[in-house]
Structures are given as structure tokens and as C-alpha cells.
Amino acid sequence: MSDACGCGDDRKTAEGAEERAPEKLWEVGELRAATVAGVLLLAGLTAGWSGASDTVVTALNALALVVGTWSFLPSTLRRLAKGRVGVGTLMTIAAVGAVVLGEVGEAAMLAFLYSISEGLEEYSLARTRRGLRALLNLVPERATVLREGTEQTIAPAELRIGDTMVVRPGERIATDGTIRTGRTALDVSAITGESVPVEAGPGSEVYAGAINGTGALEVEVTSTAEDNSLARIVRIVEAEQARKGAGQRLADKIAKPLVPGIMAAAALIALTGSLLGDPATWIERALVVLVAASPCALAISVPVTVVAAVGAASKLGVLVKGGAALEALGAVRTVALDKTGTLTHNRPTVVHVATLDGHSRDTVLAVAAALEARSEHPLAKAILAAAPEVPTATDVEAVTGAGLTGHLDGRPVRLRRPGWIEPGPLSEDVTAMQNTGATAVLVEDDATVIGAIAVRDELRPEAHEVIDRLHARGLTVVMLTGDNERTAQALAAEAGIDTVHADLRPEDKARIIGELRRQQPTAMVGDGVNDAPALATADLGIAMGAMGTDVAIETADVALMGEDLRHLPQALDHARRARRIMLQNVGLSLAVILGLMPLALLGILGLAAVVAIHELAEIVIIGNGVRAGRTKPAISRLSPEPGAGDLHRHLEEGDTKQQALA
């Protein structure tokens, strides 16, 4: 909460976030106090109408005043002791002045209405904090673990790294781990926002809060409950929520000088009016002006919206690190995308095999796999995964920058790049492979070329749709990659991206991001590791797949927790809407101040009327800010987009280079 507002209590600090957030309106202390004050005020009004003595009416109003000021007077005095003047100070001065003028009932009404706005503000903030902390409730209360050969049921906090959890179908996973036995489909919708279960088997990483599907699993624990993915996310967001966005700084810039300015203006009105007219009248008007110009609505207008929007973003599978990130996300006009791991899966796969002289696809892959069996080359896994069998090759040697040689059943075999082995009749096939962004390798058996294999890191199936959606929103989309120009251009054309920067080192990406920033607000989307300089340089860094990447969470301002790129335009839409709500709130706050001050100065509105209008405006602003917490349903799975299937079909049908490029 802004100091300029002074509405908050010292107990509402980061430490207070650990306390149980109120779930119902009547659990908020300020609202309970306001209810009691309201009852006492009503009793005072009833007593006055029924002809009770002034003493009884004044006593009831005084009690209402005492109860009503409980929500802000203690914190105001503590702030004053620290030399901090806020809106609570203005309210206290106005209440004291009203009492001095004999208007105990109006002072009580001021305290009553102010307590209501304070309580609603606290409730709205607590509700959004509760939405974020609810992530931790995704962890089950008990976990089953194998120890000394027997199953034991323990609390997740007792899990140790290296333990083996037993996760039955339908159960939630208690902490992060790696599947050792079993296969299943995991429901991670509550964590990443992805609506379709994710297939998982031995070696797959799993995260706290995911729901196991139909298969029983044994999971090796890799993180304690205090440091698993959900706990880290909550800690990071709560720590980063202190960061203030541009709108918050704007509100503070207006509110901080406004508070002492209002006090000075009120003193001037009282002094000048007393010299020229009735002192009681002008002192009362000065007090009314003091209340009319209260900037509390302005000070709370942005924070309420930020907290609501940040909490809601987590439901969309988007981790937003506070107000600064949220506002920057809403202001983005250029999106720079890394290729590998962002536009693509970062999992090279065999997309086509061309053959010669009657050799089958399986034969070509088997020869290649025999040579790649012990290779550490990135393409090795792709070829091994595609091969139906992996025969044993002997005398395998790696030729740096060229390929592999060896013997298979006594015959010399080679796996090499075009240029070291002449493709011969396969030259058109190789050219088509390369022009579609694939890496081509030639397979030679007994000094005869028998086939060519195309391996490519495929575009995500949703990539083209996402780029279209970004363009439709008027955003400029740029691709940055360390890959060669031909591969980059081919994949960019398939995705629908016009501007491509290829053959880039990390520092080159950062330099280009700096140039883009000088033109308009720019976001960089990357994997958070080799893109770290660019992520830091951009107005906003966005990490992909952050549920499994600590570096991404730490480096980026925003993290897309799932692996679906469609979270990006969804996050941009959400942030733009939140930014519009922020500006609406700031505008309404200033309009209320500018509208009420002259009416109060001219005596058209009295203290009670000004207080009622002003506090009603605060309630409206809080309600408007809470709207930023509304979200649309999670994204659904896409049907396959043109990509690997098109390339494979074109090449299998023997298309020419021009057809493959099309």
C-alpha cells in the first residue's frame, strides 16, 4: 500500500501474508468495526427522531466515532511517529475538527464510511493473495513413501530428497520428482493452465500439485516440500509484488505532494476565510475541502488492480512478478522470440528419410543408428529414437565437423554431412531438406550412398496461430536465433514471421533488443538460459516452460509455466485489460478530487455529503480493480498445424525443391 494513502495498517506487511487471509466479508476486522459503528449511528439517528435527549444522541454518535476510528487511527498515529503523513492523517484531522465544531455525528459518519472502504480494500487484497497462496493447497495433506521396503504415509514436509513416493491413480503429487516406474497421463491444468493431460513415463519430471491419471507411479523425490516448484513460485511472486509499476509510481507522484498540498490549502482557506468572514464557517469548509481532496482512492486504485491481476494470471499458467512486470506486459508493442525452445520444442526429430537403390527406410535408419549409438551429438537421439533397431557397429570414430565412420558386419559405413559425401542422385532431396530448415545427413554403406536423413527441431503446433494472434493485435514480431540464416528463414516463413535475425551470439541478441527498445516497448521471449542477456535487456523478459527451469523463473519478469505458446497472447490480453482498468481508476480518482473540492469550498456540499461521495468512489474503484482478477477459461488443445506433417508429406511424394519450400 502506498504511503501516500496511509490507509494500510503496519500489520499488513509481507509478514502478514503468512497469516490466514479472510475468506468472508465478516472476517475482516475493519468491516466488523464499521458494522458496529453503523448500528450505533443508526441508533443515534433513531434516538434523535424519537425525541431523546441530545446527551443520549451525542453519546451514541461518540461511541460510533470511537469504534469507526479503530480501523485507521492507531496506524495513523504510528505513521505520524515515523514522520509519515498520509490520508489517515487527513481523516483524523477532519474528524477532530468536526468534533470541535460540535458535529460529532458527521465525524462518526466519516469514520464509518472510511472504515467500510478500508475493510473492502483489505478484503480485495486478501482475496487476491489467497488466490496466489492457494497454489500451495494443491499439495496433498499426506504422501505415501517407500522406506525399508514398506509403504508409509507421511506429511509432505517429511519427504526427503531421494525418497521414493508411491502415487496412485487420481492422487496429487506431493512434491517435485522423477518417475522411476510407471506410465500415466498427468493433469497439470491447475499448475500450468494446460487443459490436456501430459503423457509421462520413466525419466519424466513431475511437479507438485499435478494429478496422476490412470497409472500407478513410483517417483524419486528431487525437491523438498519447502523448495518445490509451487513453493518457489509463491515465494518469488510474493517477494516481487513489492515492485511498483509505472502506474503505481504515477499514483504516488500525484498523491505524495497532494497530501501536504491539501493540508496547506485547507489551512490557507481557514485562515483567509476567518480574516474575511465567519471563522466557524470557513474552518468547517476547510475541513470539508480536506476530506474532499483525500487521495486515498488514487493511492489504492493501482495496487488493488495489480494484486487482482497478478493473482488471476497464475490461474492462466502465467507467472507475473509484480506491478512493474504487469504494466510492462500491458504496454508491449514488439515481441522478440527466440527460436529454439520457444518457437520450437527443442527436441530434434527425424522428419524424412530419402532412400536409393531399393534400400528401405528402416535399413537407412539402422545403419545411421549403429554409428550414432555412442555419439553425444544432438542429432544422435533423434536418429536413435526413429530407428526400428540399433545394430552394433565396430571401429566407430568421430570425424570432427564431418560425421562418423565405422564397420557394420565387416562393411565400412559412414554417416556424414553433404559436402564430405556427395549426395549424387539424392542432391534434390538434400536441397529440399535444407531449404525447409532441416539438417541433412547422408548414409553410406560399403562406399555407396543408400539414403539421406532429415532432422529438424519442429515448430510448436500452435506457433503459427500465436504469431497470427500477435499480428492481429498490432504487435511487431521478430525472431532471434543463433541458427544459420537458411534454417531460421525457413522456420520463420512457416510460422509467419517476417523479421529474422540469425547467426546471433547472446550479446548480439541483447544488442538487437536494445535497438528495438529505442523504437517501442519490447518483450523478449526465451528459455531463460542462453537468452539471459536479452531477457535482462528487454523492457520485459518472458520465459517459456518455467515450471522446470529455475533460471527462467529467476531471470524473467514473466514466466509461461506451461509449454503451450498460446499462453503468450493470452497473457498480453490479460495485462492490457488490467492496464486499462488501472488508467480508469486513476482517472476516476482525480475526477472525484477535482469535482468535490470546489463544491466543498463554496459550501454546496457539507462534510457528510463529501464523505459519502468520496467513500462511494473508493468502493467503486476497488470493485473496478477487482475486475482485473476475472479470467477466461484455460486454452484448449490445438488440432495439428502445418509443420512436420507437411514437410514429411511433400518429401515422401517426391516434391521438388520449389514444392517443398511452398
**Residues acting as catalytic residues:** 338
* C-alpha cell at position 519: 523504437
Question: Of the candidates 528, 504, 452, 476, which has an alpha carbon nearest to the alpha carbon of residue 334?
Answer: 476
505, 483 Cβ separation under 8 angstroms: no
Count of CA atoms in the C-beta half-sphere (13 A) of 136: 17
- Nearest Cα residue to 658 out of 384, 432, 320: 432
DSSP 634: P
Q: Map residue 493 onto helix, strand or coil.
A: helix
Q: What angle do CA 126, 14, 245 make, to 5 degrees?
A: 80
Q: Reduced to 3 states, what is the DSSP secondary structure of residue 53?
A: coil
Cα separation, 158 vs 474, whole angstroms: 51
Cell of 301: 486504485
Reading across the β-sheet that carries 411-416, which strands appear in turn? Answer: 349-355, 448-456, 439-445, 411-416, 403-408, 394-399
Tell me which DSSP letter residue 419 carries.
T
Question: Rounded CA gap, 176 and 191, in Å?
Answer: 12
End-to-end CA distance of the chain: 56
Phi, psi of 90 (to 5 degrees): -60, -40
The Cα–Cα gap between 200 and 176 comes to: 14
Integer Cα distance of 428 and 128 in angstroms = 59
| Cβ atoms within 10 Å of 331's Cβ, excluding its own | 18
CB 329 within 8 A of CB 572: yes
Helix H or strand E segment including 290: helix 279-292
H helix or E strand, kind and range, residue 353: strand 349-355
Helix, strand, or coil (residue 51): coil
Q: Please, which residues have CB within 8 angstroms of residue 567's CB and are 6 or more apart in sequence?
A: 193, 316, 317, 318, 560, 561, 635
DSSP character for 197?
Answer: -
Q: Tell me which residue of 336, 341, 348 sits closest to 527, measured CA to CA.
A: 341
User: Residue 611 in contact with residue 315, Cβ under 8 Å?
Assistant: no
Q: How far is CA 537 from CA 336, 516, 526, 556, in A?
A: 12, 10, 12, 10
Phi and psi at 319, nearest 5°, equal: -95, 110
In residues, how long is the chain?
Answer: 662
**Residue 173 gets which letter from DSSP?**
P
